[in-house]
Amino acid sequence: MRIGRTLPPAAAPMGWKVFYDGLIGILHGDKEIERFERELKEYFGKKHCFLVSSGKVALTIILLALKEKYPDRTEVIIPAYTCYSVPSAIVRAGLQIRLCDLKENSFDFNYEYLAPMLASDKLLAVLPTHLFGLPADVDRLKKMINKPYVTVIEDAAQAMGSEWQGKKLGTLGHVGFFSLGRGKAFSTVEGGIIVTDDDLLAVDIQQQVERLENYSGSNLLKLIFYAVALNVLLHPNLFWIPKALPFLKLGETIFNPDFPIKKMTGFQAGLAKNWATRLCEFRKIRQNNVRRWMNFIDQSRIPFFPVDSRNLLELIRLPVLLSSSEKRDLLLAESEKQGLGAAIAYPDVISNIVECAENIEDQEFQVASMISQRLVTLPVNGYLREQDIDNISHLVS
Ligand SMILES: *Cc1c(COP(=O)(O)O)cnc(C)c1O
């Protein structure tokens, strides 16, 4: 266990002023939620916006709305390498996971493999995913589907505020969602956002959201306590403390369909006061740090991943592919000792999650599998210092 300066892999810090805004948000209640919704609609240029307790809840709600609309359709296609919350939400909604491998050198679908899967008459939705903020080709997918009863749900959980070819990620699909969880582009401890222009779908989502429970008093208290803990402990000087507490399961990504489903609280909406300005600041800091990494990467021989998105700076963590899983694990172990914030993203391909395996055809996902073994992510958050880059660079070379 390390005691001493430890970089968090990702961080969008709050500060006490923001915490105070959260407490005021509790007093304002629904008014605060309406304010946040209004600002989001304006920012994303979308007609409808819904706020819930997490990204996976946002996805579950979208899926439940679609399921009611198309009861004969049960399949949801996702990338074979993605956040475990995604299959968790699909199972929670009572739907079936269908996996598609990734294209080489990208986190996007392999569209050759995807094409035949789109022909299924059971298909309900497809989730292009902007992993780490790297854009998936949503326009291409929409053209390939071109059927009104198959919905493109844009997983922009990690891409809030990011743009691609002048368009905001999260606004390209029929419906999009964002996560406000810890470690995302912008955080309110936990939270989820749904945006869409589709009036009919919005009515169905609205119905689902109206059925949701509010946080109980004790759950709100827990949330406030967690916000305080994050405010104190997310700093590099103290981050070793939560890392050392195994019950917090920091950084661990688990499959669990049994998550709480709630409406967002005024507290979270309050924490999101001035969110657009703060998001923009985080974005600039991250872009700057990605540039610093690029300088180092250009001089060394490690492949930045994915290679074909070199021009892109909109990352919440920098994905790097090492030449073998042994080297990756060595780097992780050494980074752990020195507190440098290198981390894996997800431990395995979705088809290898035991609870999912029985529902997924026995099939190989070569690219996803290679990524799960060789990928490491490097921090680009505001706590990164030149010395950290030097230290990690030293390890990598
Ligand atoms: C974090 C994340 C989610 C789920 O968001 P939560 O707020 O953690 O529930 C979904 N998809 C991706 C790609 C994510 O990174």
264/266 Cα distance (integer angstroms): 7
Name the residue among 302, 334, 333, 300 with its Cα closest to residue 319.
Answer: 302
The confidence score (pLDDT) of residue 326 equals 94
Mutate to test the pocket of ligand 1, among 85, 253, 264 (most ligand atoms within 8 A of CB): 85
Q: Residues 6 or more apart from 135 whose CB is under 8 A from it?
A: 159, 162, 164, 169, 309, 312, 314
Q: Is 54 in the pocket of ligand 1 (CB under 6 A)?
A: yes
Handedness of CA 365, 368, 372, 373 (dihedral sign): positive
Q: Is 126 in the pocket of ligand 1 (CB under 6 A)?
A: no
What is the residue whose two structure tokens read 């294209």? 103
Query: Ligand 1 mean position to 298 CA, how many Å?
Result: 31
Q: Which atom of ligand 1 is nearest to the CA of 184?
A: 1
Q: Is 188 in the pocket of ligand 1 (CB under 6 A)?
A: no
Q: 14: buried, middle or exposed (CB in 10 Å: 19+, 13-18, 0-12)?
A: buried
176/191 Cα distance (integer angstroms): 14
**For the chain, which ranges sit under pLDDT 70?**
247-249, 251-252, 307-311, 359
Q: Is 158 in the pocket of ligand 1 (CB under 6 A)?
A: yes
Mutate to test the pocket of ligand 1, among 57, 60, 88, 179 (most ligand atoms within 8 A of CB): 179
Please state the φ and ψ torsions of residue 375, each to the nearest 5 degrees: -85, 140
**SS3 per-residue string spanning 320-388:** EECCCHHHHHHHHHHHHHHCCCCECCCCCCHHHCHHHHCCCCCCCCHHHHHHHHHEEEEECCCCCCHHH
Q: Is 157 in the pocket of ligand 1 (CB under 6 A)?
A: yes
Q: Is 313 in the pocket of ligand 1 (CB under 6 A)?
A: no
Q: Residues 6 or more apart from 342 whose CB is under 8 A from it?
A: 9, 331, 332, 335, 376, 377, 378, 379, 392, 395
Separation in Å, CA 236 to CA 162, 211, 243, 293, 386: 25, 41, 11, 19, 14
In tens, the pLDDT along 353-395 reads 888 777 677 788 999 999 999 999 999 999 999 899 889 888 8
178/169 Cα distance (integer angstroms): 10
What is the residue whose two structure tokens read 């266990």? 1
Q: 352: buried, middle or exposed (CB in 10 Å: 19+, 13-18, 0-12)?
A: middle
* Prediction pTM value: 0.96
